[in-house]
Copies of this chain bind each other. A is one copy, B any other.
Amino acid sequence: MESFIKLCKSNNLKITPQRSLIYKELVASKDHPNAEIMYKKVKKTFPAISFDTVYRTLLTFSKIGIADILALPGEPKRFDGNKKGHYHFRCIKCDNIIDINDSSNIIKIPDSISQKFDILDSKIIFEGICDKCKKVN
């Protein structure tokens, strides 16, 4: 929460109740909600908030590095508050997105590529069927 305040100040963003709340909800979210779902979440504790504010705030967060945007074909943007380097697994059945933490260094970028390009970020989404859906089948 303190780091949030610092980040806002260093980006000339004011600390508003709406922003603080959205921030808290975002980092607390283990799923990867889209703006619509975030809106419903924050509305519970802040009924007067507007959808636009939520959407705009999430976009702002992604600009200053608090949130990541997950773009998937055919569905609205999802937002991710977990900024530690990690990847995603998306179940094509239940549509949930599960974090995969990079404890084991999944990615090895060959020198031939890292010499040619400056790689700053990597967006990695595995797709398949999750453990729960495997059981249900």
Complex: how many Å from CA A99 to CA B126?
18
Q: In the complex, what's the smallest C-beta–C-beta distance from A36 to chain B, in angstroms?
A: 16
Q: Which residues of B contact A128 (CB under 8 A)?
A: 117-121
Q: Is the CB of A106 within 8 A of B107?
A: yes
Complex: how many Å from CA A71 to CA B118?
22
Q: Is the CB of B72 within 8 A of A119?
A: no
Copies of this protein chain in the complex: 2
Which of B104, B112, B122 is A124 in contact with, Cβ under 8 Å?
Answer: B122
Complex: how many Å from CA A109 to CA B125?
12
| CB-CB nearest 4 A-B residue pairs | A120-B128, A119-B128, A69-B73, A121-B127
Q: Which residues of B contact A100 (CB under 8 A)?
A: 113
